Amino acid sequence: MSEAVIRALTVPTGPRPVPSPDDARRVTDPLTDRDFQLALWMLYELHYRGFDGIDPDLEWDPLLIAARRPMEAALEAAVRELAAVDDEPTTAKEVATALTRMTNGCGAGELATFLGRHATKTQFREYLAERAVYHLHESDPQSFVLPRIDGPAKVALAELQYDEYGSGRPDRIHAGLYAKALTSLGIPTDLLTHVDRAEATTLASVNTMSLFALNRRLRGAALGHLAAFEATSSLPCAAIAEGARRLGLPPEVADYYDEHVEADAVHEQLAIRDICGALVENEPALGADVVLGAAACLAVDGLAADVLLDRWRDLRSAAS
């Protein structure tokens, strides 16, 4: 599927083969199929920064949009199955209660705790490179949601995004801080370098955000995903920053995570109450999607974390 997308993007003239609906339907588990996730990531990337040497008009090429739709349907079905929830809040209070219940007790998480206490420098570098697919595009998916909502939720989302984009300081844009952390370790900051090596589940976590943000009907899920991410970020970031200092890594690495310890502690309630709560207060029918998005964040990101931990455990077992 990914090879078909590449050909469709690069063939200058004549027929352009693209993934078919049958290709998408034949994928057993979209969340762990790297070929599927890579193909979808490339199609989504056309809506972000595109690719050098690729015609920008292909962003809205009918053939590529048609090829993407069955892939999105397969991903959405897999995410809904993985993140099935029963809550359907219809008021701001019910949303806050549901999201708080879902995210309370998450703590630092097993992966962040490992990075903080046990990871080697090599493992820490592997983690930074793996997560670059997300962090070099940090907050960009949620910006697509701004024109799709209104009122207090729009204002609160704009406030959160202002922080993510440096609070008026270009040198403090969070994606830029991550790039500085990579550079300090001699790790490339070219996105395609990391996409080439990223696990299927890492690409799935990024594609899930794009799925929600680029489809207006899923705007509630996009903001629920954001709320869960912000509510479960501060403690893991503190643990990872501690790991960077434990290993004596350049200060730019800890700086990125220190920034999020403070920012995400504030963003938690902003995202839960002022964004998601206000959204559902204005559009009660979106309550179920908000909860779906939060559950999807926790479940899909959990899969991605487990893959990394399992990789390191397997290497440790082989060594012993």
Query: What are the residue boundaries of the structural domains of the chain, listed by start?
Result: 2-82, 92-319
The 10s digit of each residue's pLDDT in 107-163 is: 678 999 999 999 999 999 999 999 999 999 999 999 999 999 999 999 999 999 999
Stronger pLDDT, 236 or 105, i.e. the higher one: 236
pLDDT number for residue 257: 95
Please compute the mean of the pLDDT values over residues 304-318 and round it to a whole number. Answer: 84
Each residue of 42-65: pLDDT tens digit? Answer: 999 999 999 999 999 999 999 999
pTM tops 0.85 = yes
pLDDT of 319 = 64
Q: Print the SS3 string covering 113-181.
A: HHHHHCCCHHHHHHHHHHHHHHHCCCCHHHHCCHHHCCHHHHHHHHHHHHHHCCCCCHHHCHHHHHHHH
Give the residue from 275, 269, 268 showing the smallest Cα distance to 290: 275
DSSP the chain: -HHHHHHHHH--SS------HHHHHT-S-GGG-HHHHHHHHHHHHTTTT--TTS-GGGGG-HHHHHHHHHHHHHHHHHHHHHT-------SHHHHHHHHHHHHTT--S-HHHHHHHHT--HHHHHHHHHHHHHHHTTTTHHHHTTGGG--HHHHHHHHHHHHHHTTTT-GGG-HHHHHHHHHHHTT----HHHHHTT--HHHHHHHHHHHHHHHSGGGHHHHHHHHHHHHHTTHHHHHHHHHHHHHTT--HHHHHHHHHHHHHHHHHHHIIIIIIIIHHHHH-GGGHHHHHHHHHHHHHHHHHHHHHHHHHHHHHHHHH-
Q: Decide if pLDDT at 317 tops 70.
A: no
Residue 320 has pLDDT above 60, yes or no: no
Res 248 pLDDT > 90: yes
The yes/no answer on whether domain 92-319 falls in CATH 3.40.50.300 is no
Predicted pLDDT at 269: 84
pLDDT for 184-215, tens place per residue? Answer: 999 999 999 999 999 999 999 999 999 999 99
State how far the Cα of 291 lies from the Cα of 83, in Å rounded to an integer: 9
pLDDT tens digit sequence for 157-192: 999 999 999 999 999 999 999 999 999 999 999 999
- The CA distance from 294 to 290, in Å, is 6
Structure tokens that stand for 309 in this block:
């931990």
pLDDT the model gives residue 15:
77
Q: What is the pLDDT of residue 263?
A: 67
pLDDT-derived band at 316, boundaries 50, 70, 90: low
